[in-house]
Structure 1
C-alpha cells in the first residue's frame, strides 16, 4: 500500500493519527524529566542571587520578576526563579538582585496547574516575600534591553495620547496584559469570555493579519505588496511589543496567515503549521501545557482553514474593508477554541458567543488605528492624540459592549463537569470535520 492511499482514506488516516498519538504518550511516560536544581528548595530562608531575565511586570501591589543565573548561598542552580517583590526598589531587565527569601516549589490551586504553567516558562521555584533586596543595575548593553526600552516608551506614549481606561485596554490589545485595568472591568472581561483579547497571542495577531491582508489586497497595492507590507508590520509589532516568547509566537502565527495567502494551498499550510508547532515544542516541550500556545495554535488553524469557506456563507455581513473575513475568522476561532476554554477555566459564558462576535471583528481595526496613533505620537504628541481619535472611538464601543454584556446576571456559569463537556464538544467538532473530510474524499 502506498502512503498516498493511506492519506486518501479517512478511516486509515484516523487510525494512523491515533496510533502516533498513543506512541507519543508511551514514549513521554518512558522518559520522565526531573526538574532542574533550582527546584531543590531549602526548608528555611536563604540568601538568593539572580539576574532579571525578562520584562518586569509591575502591578498595583508589587513586581513580578523572573530570575535566571540563580544561586542559593553562592551555589549555582539551573532553571528560573519567580519573585513577587514589593513595588520598591524598582527593578529593570538585566539587573542583578541579592535578597533573603524562603524559596518554595509552585503548586496547583483551585484547579489551575500553576506549576505546569510556570514550567512552560522554565520556572520551577517561587519566592513570595523577599527581604533585604539589594539591586545592582545592569551596566552592559543588550538587544533585549533596547527592545524593552522601546516597548516602555510605546506604552508611555499611549498613556499620553489616550485617556484611561482606553490606553490600558488598547495597550493590552497590542502588547498583552491587563494589570492596569480596574477590577470591575476585568470581571466584565471574564464574564463575557473576552479576556483572551488582552493576551499577546496568535489569536489577535492572526485576525489582524487576515483582515489587513484582505483590505490591502482589495486596493491597488495588490497581493504581493500586501503580503510584503503585512510581513514588515508583523516584524515591527514583535519589536515594539517587547519580543517576549509569547509575542514572538504570536508573530509566527500571524506570519503563517501571510504564508497561507502566498501558498494558497490549505493542505500545504497545515503541514507548515504542524512543522512550526513541532519546532516550537522541540525547543520547549512544556509549551504543550501553555494555554496561550494552545489557544494561539488552534485559533490560527481555524482562521487559516475556515475563514474563506465561512465568509462565503456569511453573505449577510457587509464585505467592506475586510469586515466579512474578520467576522468569519472571529467566529471560526471562537468555535474551535471552546473546548480549550472549557478544559482550562471550567466556566461557560452564556453570552460569550454574542459578545465575541460583536467585539472580535473590531479587534484588527482597533489594533491598526492604535498602531497608527502610536507612531504619530512618537513624532508629535498632539498629532498622535488627534490620529488616535478613531482608536478611542473603537475602544469606547468595545468596552461598552463588554460592560453591557458583563452586567447581565448569571452571565458566567460554573460547569460541574467542565472537562467532560470539553471532551464532548471536541468530539463533536472532530466528528463534523471527519464527516466533511469523508464526504470530500468520495466526491
Structure 2
C-alpha cells in the first residue's frame, strides 16, 4: 500500500513537471492511454504481477498530472483578453495586500467590468500616495503588457512569466491612472486581519527605530518593508536573507527553532506552542496561498522533532506536496518558495538527525544542538537549488545562521508583544520593545561583521539543469544506500 502511494504521487508530479516544460498533443494522450491498456493486458495475462501494476499506476498518474496542468494552462490563457500594448480602461478589485516598496506600490487587481468575464488579473504599479488597501474597488486606465522573462545580473534567465502565472496574473500595467471608487468589496475576514496587521506595524514603528523596525515587521508578520539596498545586500551575502522576506524556508527554520527552544517542556505543550506560533504567523500575514503552503511544510517539519518514524513524515510531506500541486500545478516549477520549503523540510526530517550525531560537542541547552543541526541540514539540502537559481554561495552562512537563528523565536515573541501592547499603550510596551531592539541590534551587528569578511559571498557561473538533477539524485541514493547497508548489517549479525 505504501509503495502504491509513492508510485501514484511520483507519477502525478512527474506528469505535472513534464507538461510544465513540454506540450503534449491529443495523439500523445492517446499513446499514453494505449500504453496503460497494453500494460494492464500484459499484467492480466501474466497472472498479475505487482511490478507491472506499479508501471500501469505510474503511467496513469503521469497522465492525470499532464491533464491537470493542461487544464491550468487553458484556464490561464483563457483570461488573456487584451492585446500587447493596448490602452485599456477597466474597473476592478484589489484582491491581495498592497505591496509597498521604497518609492512605489504594487496593486493586484482582478478586473470585473467590460469584456473581462474570466476574472483577468493585473499587476499595477502606482505611486505610494494616495494609499490603497485590500478590497478597494478601483478604476484603471493605462497600457497593458504581457510579462516577459529577463536576464539577471548573474547571467541567469528569471522566468518572470511563470512567476506571475502561479499567482494567476496575466498582465502588467504601468504607468497607470488609478481612481479609488471608495467601495469595499474584499473578504471581511481578510480585511480585518490585514487591519490588525497594519495597526501592529504602525505600533512597532513608533517603538523601535529603523531599520530594526522593518526587520521585526518581516520576522513577525511578513511585512514587505525594505531594509534598503545596502542592508539587503549584506543579509544576502551572509546567507541570512531568508529571515527578512516571507518564505517557506524561513517559516520552516523558525518553527523548528520554536520547538527546539521549548524541548524541555512536555512534548504536547512544545508541539502546541510551535503549531500556535505558525498559525499565528499565518493569521497575521493574511493566510494567503503562499503562507498556507509554507505553514503546512513548517508543521510537518516540526513533527520531525517528536516522531521517530521518518517514513510517516515523508508520506505526509509528499501528500501535502501533491495536494498543493493538484490545487495549483504551476507552483511545482515556478514557485521558488514552495521548492525551498519542501527541500528544507526534507533536510529537517532526514538529514538533520545525521548531523546531530556528529555535533555532540554542541551543548543541548535551549535546544542549541538541534538548531545547529537543522541549520546545517537545511543549508545543505537547499544549496544546489540556490546555486542554480541565484548563482551565489555564502561561505559564512552556516556560522551566521547558527549565531542568529536561536534568537529568532525570542525576537519574534518580544516584538509581537510590544506591537500588540503598543496599540493600546506605548508606555507599557516600551520594555518589550527595547529588549527586542537589543536582540535585533545584535543581529545587525553579526550581519555587518560577517558581510565585511573577504569572499563572504562567492559568485558562480551559470549551472546546467542536469547538475541540479544529479545533486538531488545523489541525496536519496545515499540515504537509501545507508539504510540498506544497515539493514543488511543487521541481518548478518542475526
TM-score, scaled to structure 1:
0.88
Decide whether the 8 Å contact of 2:388 with 2:462 is kept in 1: no
Q: Find out whether 1:276 has 2:338 as its counterpart.
A: no
The aligned counterpart of 1:44 is 86
The aligned counterpart of 1:207 is 253
Deviations 1:122-141 (A, max 9, x none): 1121112102x211123456
Alignment partner for residue 245 of structure 1, among 289, 297, 303? 289
Q: Counterparts of 2:13 and 2:320 in 1: how far apart (Å)? A: 18
* Residues 356-375 of structure 1: pairs in structure 2 closer than 5 A: 356-375=401-420
Q: Find out whether 1:388 has 2:430 as its counterpart.
A: no
Decide whether the 8 Å contact of 1:48 with 1:101 is kept in 2: no
CA shift for structure 1 position 41: 2.5
Q: Counterparts of 1:56 and 1:44 in 2: how far apart (Å)? A: 25
CA shift for structure 1 position 70: 4.3
SS for the counterpart of 1:122 is coil
SS for the counterpart of 1:76 is coil
The aligned counterpart of 1:109 is 150
The aligned counterpart of 1:234 is 278
CA shift for structure 1 position 422: 3.8
CA shift for structure 1 position 262: 5.6
Decide whether the 8 Å contact of 1:70 with 1:81 is kept in 2: no
Decide whether the 8 Å contact of 1:37 with 1:77 is kept in 2: yes
The aligned counterpart of 1:348 is 393
- Range with bigger deviation, 163-172 or 306-315: 306-315
Residues 209, 16 of structure 1: CA spacing in aligned structure 2 closer, same or farther, 3 A cutoff?
Answer: closer
Decide whether the 8 Å contact of 2:149 with 2:159 is kept in 1: yes
Residues 89, 125 of structure 1: CA spacing in aligned structure 2 closer, same or farther, 3 A cutoff?
Answer: same
Q: Counterparts of 1:183 and 1:27 in 2: how far apart (Å)? A: 38
Q: Counterparts of 1:428 and 1:183 in 2: how far apart (Å)? A: 37
SS for the counterpart of 2:175 is coil
- Range with bigger deviation, 165-174 or 190-199: 190-199
Decide whether the 8 Å contact of 1:355 with 1:401 is kept in 2: yes
SS for the counterpart of 2:167 is coil
CA shift for structure 1 position 265: 2.1
Q: Find out whether 1:59 has 2:101 as its counterpart.
A: yes
Residues 372, 292 of structure 1: CA spacing in aligned structure 2 closer, same or farther, 3 A cutoff?
Answer: same
Q: Find out whether 1:90 has 2:131 as its counterpart.
A: yes
- Range with bigger deviation, 271-280 or 431-440: 431-440
The aligned counterpart of 2:62 is none
CA shift for structure 1 position 307: 3.2
Q: Counterparts of 1:203 and 1:26 in 2: how far apart (Å)? A: 25
Alignment partner for residue 68 of structure 1, among 100, 104, 110? 110
Q: Counterparts of 1:342 and 1:267 in 2: how far apart (Å)? A: 28
Q: Find out whether 1:78 has 2:119 as its counterpart.
A: yes
Q: Counterparts of 1:428 and 1:300 in 2: how far apart (Å)? A: 17
CA shift for structure 1 position 335: 0.8
Deviations 1:57-101 (A, max 9, x none): 111221111011344x55434332111111222111111111211
Residues 263, 425 of structure 1: CA spacing in aligned structure 2 closer, same or farther, 3 A cutoff?
Answer: closer
- Note the residue ranges of structure 1 that are not aligned, 5 or more in a row: 8-12
Decide whether the 8 Å contact of 1:161 with 1:382 is kept in 2: no
- Note the residue ranges of structure 2 that are not aligned, 5 or more in a row: 25-66, 152-156
> Which has the larger Rg?
2
CA shift for structure 1 position 431: 4.0
May I ask how many residue pairs the two structures share in their alignment? 430
CA shift for structure 1 position 299: 0.8
Residues 331, 77 of structure 1: CA spacing in aligned structure 2 closer, same or farther, 3 A cutoff?
Answer: same
**CA RMSD of superposed structures (Å):** 2.7
Q: Find out whether 1:183 has 2:229 as its counterpart.
A: yes
CA shift for structure 1 position 20: 7.1
Deviations 1:15-54 (A, max 9, x none): 9998776555556643542333443432431112210000
The aligned counterpart of 1:162 is 208
The aligned counterpart of 1:265 is 309
